[in-house]
Amino acid sequence: MGSDERNEDDFDDTEDLTVVRESTDVTTGAKFNRFRSDPLGFFIRLTAESSAFVSGDGWQGYNNPIGAPIFYPEYSFEIKDALVSSPRLRETVRALALKKIAAADSEKKDAPRVRSPASMERKVKEAEGEVWKQANGMINGMIANLDSISELKALAFTIHYILVRMYHQGIHIREREFLELKKTAEYAEKNKLSLIFLPCHKSHVDYLVISYIFYRLGLALPHIAAGDNLNMPVVGHVLKHCGAFFIRRVWGDDVLYNNIMKEYIEILLRRGHNIEAFTEGTRSRIGKLLQPKFGIMKIIMEAVLSGRVNDCIIVPMSIGYDKVIETGSYVSELLGAPKEKESLYQLLSNMNILGFKWGRIDISFSKPFSMREYIASQTLRRGVVLNPKESLEDRNLMLQTLGFRVLSDINKVSVIMPTALVGTILLTLRGRGVGRNELIRKVNWLRRVIMLRGGSVADFGGQSTDWIVDRAVQVLRDLVGQRLDLLEPVFYPVKRFELSFYRNQVIHLFITEAILSCALYATVKQGGPVHVQKVRIAPDLEADCAFISRLLKTEFIYGPNGLSQNMMATLEALQKMDVLTVEEELKEDGSLSGQQWVSLSVEERRIGRETFDFFCFLLWPFLETYWLAAISCFSLIPSKRNATEPFWVEERTFLNTAQFLGKSLYYEGDLSYFEAVNKETIKNALQRLKDMGVLKYTKMKSGKENVTMVSLSPDWLPANPMPDPPNCTESSDNKTSAGGGGASGKSGLLSTLFGTSRPGSVKPLTSLDGTNAPEESYDAWHYFMPDGRLWELCEQIGRYRREGKNRRDTATVATRVLRLASVAKVDMIKVAVTKPAVDIYGNSPTPATMEKLKCIKCSTLFPTNRYAAHLEKCLGLGGRRAASRSVNKKGFLPNQSSPTLVDSDPEDLPSKKKRSDSPIPKHSKIDGVEVTNRSGAASSTFSRSHTHLSDHTYPPSREATPVISSAQLPRAPGSFGGKTGPGAAANARNTSGKVPVNSYGKVPRAISAAAGGAATVTIESESSDDDEFMV
């Protein structure tokens, strides 16, 4: 970022942007007194506001809103009647009824008899009745119930109070945009057209804000497409009575549900009702816009294309918050924690947020456009070949174009809030913090550059920049720290991950500058004399820009022009800002060669590259994530050198492994940004690698569900496989005797970290779990030289990353990073073996491939998934509780030899029962990795540590599963654990005397039940010792 003097001339010929972007606070005059400071004034104001909603005076009465009529007693009945009377829905119901009858006939063993027409019609009527019963349940749970204006007014008053308290500086809207929207709404009402509002989605507060704005401005409330996760008791009822209709997150192949949804939306369109749907489909947890989702948009476009709906008007809109209340939970979810399900209790427990001051909200509307006119313009622009009515491919292409057009319009009108300005500056600094005067200068620079680029900054009525900065710091007080005991106030980021949400709201304005700067950075970071830190525009710089833009194409929205034109326009803009210099090469005779070179300007070097670095800082976290995704692919390489079968892993497991690897790399210094391990961006990166052909995805059956599996494409396998990962077979109990203590232990640890050891030194220790590893594996890693297309891709992405620890030493990075990737593979396999109903190759075990157990009474062989049920039946014990009580009382089990595994194969892993451990041998090899089984305890502990990566939220996982002596367990009369009794022979085979405990130091419930008398049997394996599991 340059100085103020350098950029002053750039703004001499600009219009008065502040006047154009003036906004109005729609909550003016509606400020509530604070109850604690003025309880009497609070109740007086509260009574006055509520009486205005009851009496219907002014805007609170919501009289005659612009749009199709809603909120009358027969509204819901009319919608339901239109749905039930729909010919298309009736045809669907009849087709499903006939299909149901055919399916029932096919299940009968006897040949289906020929029915008479009357009998067949009765059968069809019965089946239709069952389908209609299901359809009515879907309809009642889906459609909005806009029958009562009194309920709406009650909710409007509540929302009015909540928003005024939370966002104390008001909800702002630009008068010019509102006047244009009002004219459009009047035109739509006259022609019976629907307004389709497509806002961005940053918070659950979006629902409240949009409905409140329409109520406040006298527009017909839209029917809001809301996720069915919000259809909870009480809350769901209230939302439905204010316009929400609930949709499933995944529609799947449910023909009935799909047809009901399509017919419902088309009925709303034909009646001219407004509809609101979030283009991104879900809340953006990283601050920037997500890729568009096409569910509702596809139904609307197909309705217009088919002619069933005449037309509708698309209205993109943006919502900007000074502070989003969910950013804390967003960070936890991005780090892998499961999303907390919405509930009424959760809502009530968060009511304390009303006591905070969250700043202001800015709402802006893009220019509305007709859906029919857009389709016609796209057909004309793309030529007569495009036929969306008949061609599914053309229709999908036009739908994608529409989705990105909406996102582009949202970006154009989005308002950059002061908190985003301050957050962006704090996260684009090389130092630890920044002084107040410098922060004000940089914010002022950024504000003016945004306005120069055509962006919008929140209008504060002529307030000074220092006032805006102080206000933003106050709103972000839990994310930004400050030191007031120094020569001047110093501000620094406290929660960088959470603060990145606000930085990402700015990046779309500078995406071309960021791409070009990162492409040039690959040359600048090599150092050397100034005259060599330059790059040719064509083909070198253009090739680098093309690579980055293609790599990040699913993250950002680029301009409509081509790569070359956008790049040259960006170069010209950066030249005007005095950031870059473009020179033309001279021939030997002094004439111009036509070859242009670009480098940093003299002024940019003088000020320490702060503007150039600012653009790089915006994009570096995303490049880090894509580099991490590429590095994670090395954990998918099969261990066998000539492996013909791909190494399949469940997608969720691979994603958790990539996050865990990224967290390790961050704390070791090889990853500069912790936000680079966020789940959403890693998902996009893996999808991009799939599009590039690096990864292969497939669906495999796991029980009743289809599980997504991922593997590395054969074309991307390296010619020379990586060395074996560090051997982790010895338990942590032996690490002290193996050289883990004293000075020798430290020497071994240092040898491990640097990847080599001197002859005669102590055995090195692995850096993850402290277990012994042979010297040969580390010597192999020390001399390992990665190659192949995958490593070339990693190096290509790495060229544009921020310089950091050991970043110049390619060999050191390759050794350390790829060794961690191999260790991640070991842990990923340990998780995979505990997955129910699917093995590490993605195959679902069947009774034919499972291990067989011999019944201790009848000697019949049974697959492991059926053995326990047969044993109870064969011994006459009944259910599990009856078996436990019977054994507890009588010691019922006969003293016989243990059942044995028959035709066991370590790679064919059985499914894991809910309350029993998988009968996996204690020591087995899976894809070249040795796995130790301790009744599943170690694997489950690792799975938890992979799923939750937030250190401050979840208890740390244990590096090794602790064990306690079985003598410490309580014994019941007749149970196995004593020296005598019916189970003595079976218990005698367990020589370890140890019982696994979980990561909290407690005995698992299944093992506790064993101490109380549950049956314990022993599995015999040729390659391992005996292991216990519960039946």
From the list 886, 905, 844, the residue with the least C-alpha distance to 975 is: 886
How far apart are alpha carbons 686 and 285 in whole angstroms?
Answer: 18
Q: Looking at domain 147-413, which CATH architecture does it have?
A: 3-Layer(aba) Sandwich (3.40)
Question: pLDDT tens across 95-122, in order?
Answer: 999 888 888 877 776 655 667 788 888 8
Task: Measure the CA–CA gap between 967 and 419, rounded to whole angstroms.
Answer: 61
Question: What pLDDT score does 915 carry?
Answer: 40
Q: Mean pLDDT, the chain, as a whole number?
A: 74
Q: What is the pLDDT of residue 875?
A: 74
Banded pLDDT at 358 (limits 50, 70, 90): confident
Closest by CA to 96, choosing from 47, 67, 129, 72, is: 129
Ordered by start, the domain boundaries in the chain are 32-60, 74-142, 147-413, 415-505, 508-608, 621-722+784-832, 852-1030
- Are 620 and 672 in contact by the 8 Å Cβ rule? The answer is yes
Residue 755 scores a pLDDT above 80 = no
Q: Which CATH number fits domain 508-608: 3.30.160, 1.10.10, 1.10.3470, 1.20.58?
A: 1.10.10
Segment 526-549 shows an average pLDDT of 90
Supply the pLDDT for residue 645: 72
Question: What percent of the chain is modeled with pLDDT above 90?
Answer: 36
**What's the pLDDT tens digit per position in 294-326?**
889 999 999 999 999 999 999 999 999 999 988
Query: For residue 609, what pLDDT is reported?
Result: 92
The percent of residues in the chain predicted with pLDDT above 70, rounded, is 67
- The pLDDT tens digits for 49-66 are 666 666 666 777 788 899
pLDDT given at position 79: 93
Question: What six digits make up the tokens of 826?
Answer: 């070991």
Confidence of residue 241 (pLDDT cuts 50, 70, 90): confident
- Cβ-in-10-Å burial (0-12, 13-18, 19+) of 1005 comes to exposed
Which residue has better confidence, 808 or 64?
64
CATH top class, domain 415-505 = mainly alpha
Query: Which amino acid is it at 367?
Result: K
pLDDT for the residue 777? 56
Instruction: Classify residue 168 by its DSSP letter.
Output: T
Is the distance from CB of 361 to CB of 318 less than 8 angstroms?
no
Length of the chain: 1031
Confidence label for 720 from pLDDT (cuts 50, 70 and 90): confident
Provide the edge-to-edge strand list for the sheet that holds 695-702: 649-650, 705-712, 695-702
Q: At residue 132, does pLDDT exceed 80?
A: yes
Q: How far is it, in rounded angstroms, from Cα 822 to Cα 845?
A: 26
pLDDT of residue 29: 52
- pLDDT category, 1003, cuts 50, 70, 90? very low
Average of per-residue pLDDT across 899-920: 36
- Token duo for residue 356: 């905070």
Evaluate if residue 705 carries a pLDDT over 50: yes
Determine the angle formed by the axes of helices 651-668 and 679-691, rounding to 10 degrees: 120
Poorest-confidence range of 606-620, 779-793, 951-965?
A: 951-965
Yes or no: say if 243 and 223 are a contact pair by the CB < 8 Å rule.
Answer: yes
- Three-state SS sequence of 78-89: HHHHHHHCCHHH
Distances (CA, A) of 578 to 5, 7, 8, 610, 900: 12, 9, 12, 12, 79
Rounded to 5 degrees, φ, ψ at 419 are -65, -35
Quote the DSSP letter at residue 541: I
Would you tell me how many other CB atoms lie within 10 Å of the CB of residue 25?
Answer: 15
Handedness of CA 574, 577, 583, 584 (dihedral sign): positive
Per-residue tokens: 698: 């497939």
Alpha helices in 167-202 (DSSP H): 175-190
What is the mean pLDDT of the segment spanning 482-486? 91
491 three-state secondary structure = strand
pLDDT for residue 469: 93
Closest C-alpha among 699, 696, 721, 716 to residue 708: 699
Give yes or no for residue 269 having a pLDDT over 60. yes
| Distance of alpha carbon 308 from alpha carbon 301, whole angstroms | 11
Asked if pLDDT for residue 691 goes beyond 70, the answer is: yes
Closest alpha carbon to 286 in 501, 505, 493, 498 = 501
Bond prior to 539 in cis (omega within 30° of 0) = yes
Q: Is the pLDDT of residue 640 over 70?
A: no
384-435: per-residue pLDDT in tens? 677 888 888 888 989 999 999 999 999 999 999 999 999 999 999 888 899 9
Higher pLDDT, 880 or 894: 880
Beta-strand runs (E) in 577-628: 580-586, 592-600
Give the C-alpha distances (Å, rounded to integers) separating 702 from 234, 338, 845. 36, 21, 9
Q: What is the average pLDDT across 704-715?
A: 86
Q: Which residues contact 966 (CB under 8 A, 6 or more apart)?
A: 977, 990, 993, 994, 995
- Residues 572-582, mean pLDDT to the nearest whole number: 93
Residue 173 backbone phi and psi in degrees, to 5: -140, 145
- Strands (E) across 741-858 are located at 852-854
Element (H, E) at 892: none
Q: Answer whether residue 1027 shows pLDDT above 50.
A: no
Tokens of 572: 């010209």
Among residues 998, 1002, 989, 970, the alpha carbon closest in space to that of 1028 is found at 989
| pLDDT greater at residue 155 or residue 693 | 693
The CATH fold assigned to 621-722+784-832 is Arc Repressor Mutant, subunit A (1.10.10)
Reported confidence tier of residue 864, pLDDT bands at 50, 70, 90 = low
pLDDT computed for residue 311 by the predictor: 94
Q: What is the pLDDT of residue 767?
A: 37
Share in percent of the chain as helix, strand, coil (round to 5): 50, 15, 40
Residue 752 has pLDDT above 50, yes or no: no
Phi, psi for residue 442 in degrees, rounded to 5: -70, -40
Answer with the residue of higher pLDDT: 340 or 949. Answer: 340
3-state secondary structure of 785: coil
At 997, the amino acid letter reads V
Fold match, 415-505 / 621-722+784-832? yes
pLDDT at 9: 39
Burial class (CB in 10 A: 0-12, 13-18, 19+), 730: middle
What three-state secondary structure class fits 979? coil
CA dihedral 862, 867, 869, 871 (to 10 degrees): 90
